[in-house]
Chains A and B, each alone.
Chain A
């Protein structure tokens, strides 16, 4: 049984009936005082990079990110290396990283086999991926949404027995490359399913980055009817440059967990050559500029970004990192 380090906070807090999420007012809009950043670069980012990154480099990247103040770093993915060769070294990565205290390292586990491998390798938190689009689900993981939920149920039930927290993702929350627009009610349904199965947090992903503040607002309005807002996160892609305004809208709606990838790693497989994940540096710049705390040290994240971009022989996608490196 894995002893969860934060349990004492849980019992301590249960004695106080006060707001967990403290909001601050910036002229007419309420924003959370604190936003948790979930760093997905080492997994979601690298997974979409063409260059296979050596294990040592992945470990070093994660170690650098561990020293920046980030509290959640998605380390790797226990999928079959046939499908995702980039993540073939999942066990070595998980065993090789130096786990910083107060930092969590969730890993992706698409099925029970993956979950068991993850636990054997030392995983203390896992994540499962659902889709709001049937077509995307079929093309991506070769089964319908309902079938995938059954698979995840196995994982979540097993995880519950071992007291391993599970995070849920809903992809294509704002649009699908095959189906086009996705109804907020569909996203809400999938999110609710994952939440009721036992995921502590649901990350709503704009997989192809087509969302705008308008569609983000509608989607969140739909989802928060079914899932409490403080259990929601947004995972915005910057393919159309809309990520930051979408994140801003989510913050205005009360969301206080944001997924991002250092250096904006990871392209978009549906718009080749385009950008994918929003850059952690750019998100931090915006949040800190608004006086929202994150606990993350931006210069250190920029450094980690430069490191991985050098290793990948590519330019950073982060505008903040680009500007900082060139400022007169």
Chain B
């Protein structure tokens, strides 16, 4: 009977007279589903911005200290309440975080914003406090194999190491945040049992961590597995002390965050511009983009205190610095939506050349790309628009007839496209920008 029902389900709605099936549906269950969908969500959610640490740590390009400081300052201005600034690990292992002390000392700390730093051991903790850290974070794993491969010791041994950090932190009055990685799946072990995650979370909480962030390190979680994991953990740690740290490697992050919110979680970790890839699926995305999370939360009427526009500016800045595209869909979409309006009135055959755009953030330009005229250095940020080429091109200028691929910036493709989305960005002589067309404004 069940088998027949399944077959019926699959094809019932195919008939033009399928509407009759409405009479057979179970209205009681449908009502229940409707009620559950309107599950109470938190009024406020705290966003923990991990871009400057977890994000940058997984980026190949080493970012200059100044840029890191600027990023953190921009993020502070956007209203984020917690910004993970850096990591006091050995620069041997994580060269990106070698300038940890300079970063800590260089940032302008906004009142009311906390700047936790990662401290894998007592030495790191001491260096962090010396550099001015007022909050630290420690990492445990829910998977034994991951723990061994990542930090060369078992889960229990790692928690013992953190004991020292916890004691020192208590004495110094420094709050400690705990992370649990591989809460749903491990790149080596596969599925991770929710009870194991609960065990590690409970240990960290009883050791004194004020909050436990549950990380789906390889992004394999789906609403089903996340729910099961959170159910198990919330039996051991109060929901108000839990956070979720979802990776978007399989595109599941926002759906997972939604179910976490429905379960009472009100702290979300995310990374501006979705910085940080996944070291276990090279080229795939990693952290969920803060912009996309904030967009969803605001759409749900949940307060975050974050100014999305300023956040996107910070994201655009760091992507320019890293010479990469943003991983945030909101950032990609918002830019282009506005630009379309400006393009409608552009002439079809227009020469356009580019100089280095340096000040686009100030006037909220969405286009942030170009290259140095002499050296044809990489695009600052690629936009995938096609254009028709123009007539005469003055010397020292490069005419583009097709967007250059981000991976081969020195080649100029010569295709002609029929699509006529054109615009003029800037006319440049040498390296100096002499005119900018502001065809797009927020």
Contact = CB atoms under 8 A, between A and B. Distances in A.
Given A200-B15, A228-B22, A289-B252, A239 B329 contact: yes
Given A13-B8, A270-B340, A160 B16 contact: yes
Nearest to A177: B337
B36 A36 contact: no
Contacts, number: 280
Interface in B326-340: 328-330, 332-334, 336-337, 339-340
A224 B10 contact: no
Contacts of A282: 250-252
B9 A323 contact: no
Contact of A320 (B25, B38, B231, B251): B251
Interface in A220-264: 220-221, 224, 228-231, 238-242, 244-245, 247-249, 252-254, 257
B172 interface: no
Given A71-B10, A288-B222, A289-B224, 13 more contacts: A4-B15, A30-B33, A164-B16, A198-B19, A201-B18, A209-B333, A224-B34, A231-B18, A272-B340, A282-B251, A285-B250, A286-B255, A320-B250
Given A212-B299, A286-B223, A274 B14 contact: no
B24 A18 contact: yes
A217 B11 contact: no
Contact of A245 (B25, B254, B283): B254
B30 A229 contact: yes
B224 A212 contact: no
B37 A6 contact: no
A323 B34 contact: no
Interface of B: 4-22, 24-26, 29-30, 32-34, 36-39, 187, 219, 221-225, 227-228, 231, 248-252, 254-255, 257-259, 262-263, 278, 280-285, 289, 292, 295-296, 298-301, 328-330, 332-334, 336-337, 339-340, 383-386, 417, 419, 421
Contacts of A229: 25, 30, 34
Residue among B39, B332, B417 with the highest chain A CB neighbour number at 10 A: B332
A4 B390 CA distance: 56
A165 B18 contact: yes
- Contact-size category for A: 35 or more
Interface in A305-328: 318-320, 322-323, 326-328
A295 B3 CA distance: 13
A220 B10 CA distance: 22
Contact of A244 (B29, B254, B330, B384): B254
B296 A245 contact: yes
Nearest to A36: B10
Nearest to B384: A273
A240 B39 CA distance: 23
The 5 closest A-B CB pairs, nearest first, are A212-B299, A289-B222, A19-B26, A319-B251, A241-B329
A290 B223 contact: yes
A34 B38 contact: no
A212 B255 CA distance: 11
A129 interface: no
A166 B16 contact: yes
Contacts of B222: 285-286, 288-290
A320 B336 CA distance: 25
Interface in A175-222: 177, 195, 198, 200-201, 208-209, 211-215, 217, 220-221
Contact of B284 (A21, A212, A244, A326): A326
A20 B24 CA distance: 6
A20 B251 contact: no
A34 B6 CA distance: 8
A20 B296 CA distance: 32
Contacts of A220: 37
Interface string A1-37: 0001011011011101111111100111111001010
B221 to A, nearest CB: 8
Given A213-B296, A231-B19, A295-B10, A17 B251 contact: no
A9 B12 CA distance: 7
Nearest to B9: A34
19 contacts: A4-B15, A4-B16, A9-B11, A9-B12, A10-B17, A19-B26, A23-B33, A29-B259, A36-B13, A211-B299, A214-B299, A241-B328, A242-B254, A245-B255, A270-B340, A274-B337, A322-B281, A326-B281, A326-B282
B13 A201 contact: yes
Contacts of A102: 10-11
A17 to B, nearest CB: 6
A72 to B, nearest CB: 8
Contacts of B251: 244, 279, 282, 285-286, 318-320
A272 B252 contact: no
Nearest to B29: A23
Nearest to B226: A289
Contacts of A242: 254, 292, 295-296, 299
Given A212-B295, A231-B19, A241-B295, A20 B12 contact: yes
A300 interface: no
Contact of B225 (A238, A268, A289): A289
A218 B388 CA distance: 44
Nearest to B24: A20
Given A10-B15, A50-B386, A326-B281, A271 B336 contact: yes
Contacts of B231: 27
Contacts of B258: 213, 245, 248-249
B36 A272 contact: no
A236 to B, nearest CB: 11
A159 B4 CA distance: 29
Given A212-B300, A213-B258, A248-B259, A195 B19 contact: yes
Contacts of A20: 5, 8-9, 12, 21, 24-26
B24 A274 contact: no
A107 to B, nearest CB: 15
Nearest to A269: B340
B407 to A, nearest CB: 11
Contacts of A4: 14-16
